[in-house]
Chain A
Amino acid sequence: METIKISEVTKNFQEGEHVVHAVNGVDITIENGEFAALAGPSGSGKTTLLNLIGGLDRPTSGEISIDGTQLSKRKDNELTEIRLRKIGFVFQAYNLIPVLTAYENVQFVLQVQGVPEREHHDRIMPILEDLGIKGLENRFPTQLSGGQQQRVAVARAVVGNPTIVLADEPTANLDSETSKSLLDLMRRLNTEKGVTFLFSTHDPMVIERARRVIRLRDGKVQADERKN
C-alpha cells in the first residue's frame, strides 16, 4: 500500500540570476511499513525533498501525495493539518520542551490534534510502556538520561498515529553509540509496530541500518536499493 507518492517533483530556488534545481524530477513511492533513507552528499537535495514531503515547503512542479491526499493544492492551514495528523518528526538532539514533563511532551501532540483529554492517558501510556519509559512520565527532560530522552522524542513522533515518521539527519549531533541506539529504537518500531520511517542522512552507519536506500545526486534519484 502506497504511503507516499512523489511524482515528477521539482523544486527550484532562485539565487541571484541563477536557478538552482534542488530537486529535479524525482519519482519515488514509499510503501507502508518501509524503513528508508534518503542518502547523498550535502547539496544533493535530500533535506529539500524531506521538507517537501513534510509539507514544510511546496514543490515548483509535480505532485506529492500522502495516503492519497495531494499536497500541492492545499492551503497553508490545510498543510499544517496534514502535517499534524499524518506526519511525525524526530528532530536532531530530540528538541524536547524543557518545562514539560515526559508525559506532557508526548501529550502536546494530542492536544494540538484536538484529541479529547480523556483519551490521552490511554493513547500515551501504551506507547511509553512499549518504549520502556513507563514510570518516568513525571520527569522533566533534564531529569532523564540521554537514552530516556531519546525514547520520549520517538514516543512524541508516533503518538499521533502518523502515516510516516520523518527524520532529517537524526544522528547528526550524536556520538556513534547514541546514534546506534536511536536507530535501533526506530527499527524496532518499524518491525514490531509497522511504523513507516523515512530519514535523510549521509552517515554510513545510518545507511547500513536502512532497509531501503534512495540515493540522490544533484536533485535526482541516482539509485534505489532495497535490501533483503
Chain B
Amino acid sequence: MIPGIFPKIIFLIMILCLTIIADNAEAIDFKYGAALRQNVLLFNRPAGVDESLMPEKSIGSSSTSLRLYENLYWQGVLLSAAIETKSNFISSTGSIFSGLGSGGSLFGTSQPLEHWDATFDYITGDSSNLRTRLERLDVTWSMGAYDFDIGRQPLSLGTSHFVGVLDVVAPFAPGDPDATYKPGVDAVRLRRMVGMTGEAEIIGVGSKPWEYGAVLGRFRLLYKGVDFEFVGGRFRQRGFGGVGWEGGISDYGIWGELALFDRKENEEKWRGGWSEAAFSGVAGIDVNLPVDIKAGGALMYQDFGVRNTDDLVDVYDDAPFREGWVFLASAGYGLVTLHRQMHPLVNADIAGLVNLVDSSTLWQPMITISVGDNADMSLYGWIGTGKENTVTITKTEMNSEFGSLPTGGGFYARWFF
C-alpha cells in the first residue's frame, strides 16, 4: 500500500477531469454512476474442524461494495475510471475460511496482476476490513482499424463458465456470487477486428516486479456458430497456450477450454501428466429440456490437481494456487448445471461439482430475482458432501476436498444507480 501517492494520483486525475469538463463543456460527453453490492452469508462450522480454530457453531459474514464510475469522451479519447470501496465483516476471528469473510467465495479470491498499488486500507483487522481500490483508469481510442486501451481495466480470457482454465490473469473462483466486476489489471491492449467475426489482440499486463506480468496474444473467431478463442503467451514467468470454444451444434450448446502450461519445477510438485508441460482442460455440453429447463454437464481435468487425498494438504502451496489462478485442488471433476427461468423476473440455477478423485460433491443452488429496473437479488447456498477432514491446531488430515466445506446460505444484492 502506498497511501501517500494513491490519493494524490486520484486527486490529480479528478482535477484534470474537472478542468477538461470546465473548459470543454460543450464538446465532451460524460456519464457517471454507481453500483452498490451487498453480500451476506451465514455458514456453520465445518465438520471435523476443531473448536479452537472456529469457536462458534455458526458464523456470519458481510461484504458491502460501493463502486463509483465515470466515462468521459473528449477529442476521440474515452477515459474510463472506477473506484471501489469495500468493507468486509466476519463474526468470528477464528475462521480458517478467510475467503468467506470477504464475500462468500469458498475458494478465496484471485490476486489480480497490478504494477501500481492503488489500494488504500483504512481498517485491517481479523474480523473486519475496509479498503478502497482504484479498479479502473484507462484510456481507449481508435486509429483506423486498430483499438488501443491503456491503463487499469477488466480483462477476461476464455468462456467465463462456472469453471475454466484459460482465465489466468484475474479469474473469479468457481461459483463466486460476487462476480459482477472483474478486478482491474494494469494492461496495454492493441486490438484489431478481422473480417466479420474475427478479432486479433495483443495484451501486455504489468505487475510488480514487471517480470511477473503477462504478454499475451489472442485471436477470436466465430466459425459455424461456435466462438473460438486462441490464447498464448507468458504470465507470471510461465509460458502457456490454449483454446476455448463456445457455441451450438444442432440442438446442443457446447463449450470448453484446453491449455498447456510450462511447469515451474521449484515452485510446484509434479502430480501427474507430462513432465514437460501441465495440461488442463474442461469440456461441457448444454441441452434444452422440456419445461424450459436448460441442463448442462462438463468434465474437467488438470495436471496441477492431486490424484489422491493425501496430497490435498500441501497442494495449496503449489504456485498456481498461491498465485490465485487455480482454485480446485483435484485432478478431475464432473460439473452438473440446471437453469430454469421460473418467471421473466426470476431465474433458478443449480451447479454441482463432483470431485472424481474422492467422490465429494459441492452444490450451489441460487435463485436470482429482479427486484427493480436497476436492482436484483440472489439467494444462494453452499452444500458440501463427502468424507470429513480433521483440522486441529497440530494436525490436518484431509479425506476429501468438499466434505468439510461449510454449509451455508446467503444473499447477494446489486443496485445500480
Stretch at the interface among B86-94, B105-113, B218-226, B392-400: B218-226
B73 and A207 contacting across the interface, CB-CB below 8 Å: yes
B76 and A132 contacting across the interface, CB-CB below 8 Å: no
Residues of B within 8 A of A26 (CB): none
Beyond A130-B196, A208-B78, A208-B142, whether A135 also contacts B31 by CB under 8 A is: no
Residues of A within 8 A of B250 (CB): 135
A227 and B248 contacting across the interface, CB-CB below 8 Å: no
* Size of B's binding interface in residues, CB under 8 A: 39
Residues of A within 8 A of B247 (CB): 135
Among B29, B71, B143, B224, residue most surrounded by chain A Cβ atoms (within 10 Å): B29
Residue of B nearest to A128 (CB): B225
Residue of B nearest to A188 (CB): B196
Residues of B within 8 A of A189 (CB): 196
B224 and A208 contacting across the interface, CB-CB below 8 Å: no
Beyond A143-B288, A202-B31, A204-B29, whether A136 also contacts B248 by CB under 8 A is: yes
Q: Is B249 an interface residue (CB 8 A)?
A: yes
A204 and B225 contacting across the interface, CB-CB below 8 Å: no
* Contact with B341, one of A134, A142, A184, A209 (Cβ below 8 angstroms): A142
Q: Is A223 an interface residue (CB 8 A)?
A: yes
A227 to B76, CA, bound (A): 8
Residues of B within 8 A of A187 (CB): 193
A134 and B71 contacting across the interface, CB-CB below 8 Å: no
Residues of B within 8 A of A138 (CB): 251
Min Cβ gap B237→A in Å is: 29
Residue of A nearest to B29 (CB): A204
Q: Is A133 an interface residue (CB 8 A)?
A: yes
Residue of A nearest to B221 (CB): A132
Contact with B along A164-207 (1 / 0, CB 8 A): 00000000000001000000100111011100000000111101
A189 to B195, CA, bound (A): 9
Beyond A132-B223, A134-B225, A135-B249, whether A208 also contacts B77 by CB under 8 A is: yes
Residues of B within 8 A of A134 (CB): 224-225
Q: Is B120 an interface residue (CB 8 A)?
A: no
Beyond A130-B196, A135-B250, whether A39 also contacts B224 by CB under 8 A is: no
Residues facing A in B133-165 (CB within 8 A) are 140-145, 156
Contact with A along B21-42 (1 / 0, CB 8 A): 0000011011100000000000
Q: Is A74 an interface residue (CB 8 A)?
A: no
Residue of B nearest to A173 (CB): B373
Min Cβ gap A141→B in Å is: 11
Q: Is A80 an interface residue (CB 8 A)?
A: no
Q: Is B295 an interface residue (CB 8 A)?
A: no
A228 and B144 contacting across the interface, CB-CB below 8 Å: yes
Residues facing B in A112-156 (CB within 8 A) are 130-136, 138-139, 142-143, 145, 147-148
A135 and B142 contacting across the interface, CB-CB below 8 Å: no
Residues of B within 8 A of A60 (CB): none
B197 and A132 contacting across the interface, CB-CB below 8 Å: yes
Residues of B within 8 A of A143 (CB): 288, 294
A133 and B193 contacting across the interface, CB-CB below 8 Å: no
Residues of B within 8 A of A83 (CB): none
Min Cβ gap A194→B in Å is: 12
* Contact with B30, one of A142, A188, A204 (Cβ below 8 angstroms): A204
Q: Is B176 an interface residue (CB 8 A)?
A: no
B195 and A192 contacting across the interface, CB-CB below 8 Å: yes
Q: Is A85 an interface residue (CB 8 A)?
A: no
Q: Is A29 an interface residue (CB 8 A)?
A: no
A143 to B296, CA, bound (A): 13
Q: Is B376 an interface residue (CB 8 A)?
A: no
* Contact with A208, one of B73, B222, B248 (Cβ below 8 angstroms): B73
Q: Is B72 an interface residue (CB 8 A)?
A: yes
* Contact with A132, one of B73, B142, B227, B294 (Cβ below 8 angstroms): B227
A215 to B73, CA, bound (A): 13
B227 and A207 contacting across the interface, CB-CB below 8 Å: no
Residue of B nearest to A184 (CB): B193
Residue of A nearest to B248 (CB): A136
A184 to B197, CA, bound (A): 9
A204 and B78 contacting across the interface, CB-CB below 8 Å: yes
27 A-B pairs within 8 Å (CB atoms) are namely: A39-B29, A132-B225, A132-B227, A135-B247, A136-B225, A136-B248, A184-B193, A188-B196, A188-B197, A189-B196, A192-B195, A192-B196, A193-B196, A202-B29, A204-B29, A204-B72, A205-B73, A205-B78, A205-B80, A208-B73, A208-B140, A208-B141, A209-B142, A223-B26, A227-B76, A227-B142, A228-B143
